Amino acid sequence: MTPRRSSLVVSLLALAAGAALGVLAVVGLRAWSAGPGPGTAELAAEAVVVPPVAAVTLGREDLEPRRGLLGDPDERGLVRVAYEVDLPPDQAIAAWVSAYGPQYGLRTSPVPLDGKLLATGFAGERFVVVLAGPDVSVPPGGAGPRERGFAAPAGGTVVTVEVGTLDAAP
């Protein structure tokens, strides 16, 4: 191969590599600008977060959506709010299902989750989990409710409401 032909091949390869990087940058920027999904302010505005009965707020935890290394959603947004109500757990769950069941398709589970009554539902790209029991429901293995900023209940039923996204699409 002659030096002139060799430099032409190198130039063409560099041009192709530059074009490929440019396309990747545009695609990555487009995906990044779309956002990883709704933020917690939008999730906290969901109707199901408002208690349908008299309640004392024990706290709220916001987990903002985050992007992963390649721009894909790493964590979806989630809002967890806890209330203390003066009802037994079955009546507390029934109050949420009665108030928000049609909007979110809330259904009660016949099987308790960690000793707590459970109702779940979906509305579009949102999921809703409502748990009723003696304390705030948080995922096992991590920080407990107090470490997450939730107040201790005074002895009533605690209803924990979680709203999150199923998909990163806004």
E strand map for the chain: 55-63, 66-67, 73-75, 78-85, 107-108, 117-123, 126-133, 157-165
Q: How many CB atoms lie within 10 A of CB 116?
A: 20
What digits encode the pLDDT tens for the residues 138-166? 888 788 899 999 999 999 999 999 999 88
Q: How far is residue 158 from each of residues 15, 61, 130, measured CA to CA in Å?
A: 63, 15, 10
Cβ–Cβ < 8 Å for 119, 109: yes
What digits encode the pLDDT tens for the residues 64-93? 877 665 655 556 789 999 999 999 999 999
Q: How many CB atoms lie within 10 A of CB 114?
A: 10
* Lowest-pLDDT range of 19-33, 76-90, 92-106, 123-137: 19-33
Q: What is the pLDDT of residue 42?
A: 87
